[in-house]
Every structure is written in C-alpha cells, then in structure tokens.
Amino acid sequence: MIRIALTKGRIEEKTLSILEKAGYDCSDVRNKGRKLLLSIGDNIEVVLSKSADVITYIEHGVCDIGIVGKDTIMEHGKTFYELLDLGFGKCRFALAGLKGKNFYDGYSHKVIASKYPTVTKNYFNSRGIDVEVVKIEGSVELAPLLGLADAIVDIVETGSTLKENGLEVYEDIANVSARLIVNVASIKLKREEINEFIDRVSAQIEK
Ligand code: PRP
C-alpha cells in the first residue's frame, strides 16, 4: 500500500485528471464529500490537505508521495526527494513593487513583505543584502501601496494582480510548478510500487 498526500484546490484538480488519464479510478476522490482519507484503486490511499501539511506528512513518513507546489517546497521543505516536475501550476517567484521606482535607490535598509519569509530571506542572503521581512498572510500587493514595505516577494502568474495595482516585477527569483516528492524511507521500502506510480504519472505529463 502507498499513501499519497495531495494539495487541495488547483493542484488537486489537475492531478486528478492526470491520474485518470493514467488509468486510476478517482471516483472516490471526486465524490469525497467531507471524507479525508480516500482510495484510488486497491493499493493507493489519498489524503487531501493544505500544501504545508503535505510536506509535514512526507517528512514524518505518514505519507509516501506528496504532490505540492515548488513554492511550498522552497518555503517549508527540508528532507525528501523531489522526483518529478508535473508541468502544471506554472508561475514564478518575483520581487515586485511600485512601478517606475528603483528598488536599490537610497542607503536605508529595505523592508520586504511576503507570505514566504524563508524564500525572501534566502534570496536576499544569497545576494549578501540585509533586509527586514514582514510576514503577510494574503493580498501582499497592498504592502507597497500602504507604505508598509519597499517591495514584495510573491507568486506572479499572469501578472494582472500587479498591473491592476500599479506594481511591476523588479527581479525574477525562481520558477514554480507542481512537484512530486517522496519520503526518503519509502523510496527504499516501497520502491516497486512508487516507481510504478511515477512511471504511469510521468507518461501523462504534458511536455
Ligand atoms: C496569488 C499571488 C498573487 C496572485 C498572482 O494569490 O499571491 O496575489 O495569485 O496571480 P496573477 O499574477 O495571475 O495576478 P492567490 O490567488 O493564491 O491568493 P492569496 O493572496 O489569498 O494567497
């Protein structure tokens, strides 16, 4: 038996269509109601959860395979194997702020607002720049508009949220998409089942 932790929402929907194309019966998941532990076929259990919890389940070994965004992996991930880029949920991390402003102007240290404080700190550390990071839970784009921050680090997909709020990308930080991760012990103990699952899924990924 293998157990898969699947991120609820957009990733869930795309993953289910890939699994169905790969021949897995996802009717239990599609008709889940309020049920949280579901099955696809005889040997595979699926848990639906928030993205950060997917990482927790994989690191604690209570699930073998996780499907989660690279953004969450970069913010919360530590020890597991990242084996597959699923090719959907594509977007990027970017540094953004008020349009037309030069971010590096002036000598004062910069304040950056983000839902992703670790990603933000790692990015500026790697460039040897000291910044203050303010953690925001949603609508981070408000921070430069309210004067709370000099810039934000956030996910940009179409760019329309930035545009509609008079903001622009200053720098691209990293590409993001949905990834398949595996617990380090599971890869040894359940090699055959995990490889079969990964082979069937990767055959359905749009290149
Ligand atoms: C994300 C992100 C941006 C927006 C970018 O937010 O934080 O706000 O999407 O998308 P765009 O470039 O296509 O406009 P999300 O929709 O996940 O909502 P949240 O702010 O509540 O997290």
Q: Please list the residues that pair with 72 across neighbouring strands.
A: none
130-174 pLDDT, tens digit per residue, is 999 999 999 999 999 999 999 999 999 999 999 999 999 999 999
Query: Which residue's CA is the closest to the ligand 1 atom numbered 8?
Result: 139
Domains of the chain: 2-89+177-202 (3.40.190.10), 91-175 (3.40.190.10)
Paired tokens of 109: 């240290």
What's the average model confidence in pLDDT over 5-26? 96
Fill in the amino acid letter for 143: A
- Which is the closest atom of ligand 1 to the Cα of 161? 14
Contact 22, 200 (CB under 8 A): yes
Q: How confident is the model at residue 207 (pLDDT cuts 50, 70, 90)?
A: low
Query: Which residue's CA is the closest to the ligand 1 atom numbered 14?
Result: 161
What is the CB neighbour count within 10 angstroms for residue 140?
23
Q: How confident is the model at residue 106 (pLDDT cuts 50, 70, 90)?
A: confident
Measured in Å, residue 156 CA sits from the centre of ligand 1 at: 7
Q: Which residues contact 13 (CB under 8 A, 6 or more apart)?
A: none
- Indicate the pTM of the whole model: 0.93
Measured in Å, residue 183 CA sits from the centre of ligand 1 at: 29
The span from the CA of 170 to the CA of 97, in Å, is 7
Measured in Å, residue 107 CA sits from the centre of ligand 1 at: 31
The span from the CA of 192 to the CA of 41, in Å, is 16
- Burial annotation 3-26 (CB, 10 A radius, 16+ → b, else e): bbbbbeeebbebbbebbbebebeb
Paired tokens of 52: 């950060």
Residues with CB under 6 A from ligand 1: 138-141, 154-161
19-77 pLDDT, tens digit per residue, is 999 999 999 999 999 999 999 988 999 999 999 999 999 999 999 999 999 999 999 98
What's the average model confidence in pLDDT over 83-107? 95
